[in-house]
Amino acid sequence: MKRDFFIKIENKEHDTSFDLDKIVEQLAFNEQGLIPVITQDAITKEVLMFAWMTKESLEKTLSSRYLCYWSRSRQELWTKGETSGHTQYLVSMAFDCDGDAILCQVDQNGSACHTGRRNCFYLELDHDKRRVIIQGDSA
């Protein structure tokens, strides 16, 4: 079981390294071949968006350093900024302790959200009023 690999490395020494290809092979892609990705601004640490990757889009991201995702609505690969010019250059990538999620820190050029907003999380909850309020300007 792939999860066993991540359990085995939990107590390894700080700075122990592993071959990237071995880690990618052990990632827990779901039944559709997808793994969730959280994308964050490398400097401000602002969460910009959440998306999905396939093994192919992960490999494309690793080779080009530009974020490539899987579009579930279009059923195709899409490199962020291909049409908008709002690119995401990979600064760092980390895998969670179970190997079932990826965190990418990026240099964001332009907006991350297709609405033109800086990030995709602009619908903010006002818990006391039980309302959701739009935050952030759109382009």
- Pick left, alpha or beta for residue 123 (phi over 0 → left; psi -120 to 50 → alpha; otherwise beta): beta
**43 is a domain residue:** yes
Residue 136 exposed, middle or buried by CB count within 10 Å (0-12, 13-18, 19+): middle
Name the residue range of residue 85's domain. Answer: 2-110
**89 is a domain residue:** yes
**117 is a domain residue:** no
**137 is a domain residue:** no
Q: Exposed e or buried b for every residue in 86-114, given b needs 16+ CB within 10 A?
A: bbbebeebebeeebbbbebbbebeebbbe
**123 is a domain residue:** no
Give the model's pLDDT for residue 137.
79
What domain count does the chain have? 1
Q: Phi and psi dihedrals of 23, rounded to 5?
A: -65, -45
Pairing of strands 35-41, 102-108: parallel
**126 is a domain residue:** no
Average pLDDT of each block of 10 consecutive residues along the chain (139 residues)? 83 93 96 98 97 98 98 95 95 96 97 93 95 85
Give the distance between the most distant pair of CA atoms in the chain: 50
Q: What is the CATH number of the domain that holds 18?
A: 3.10.20.810
pTM of the model: 0.92
**42 is a domain residue:** yes
**115 is a domain residue:** no
Give the model's pLDDT for residue 4.
87
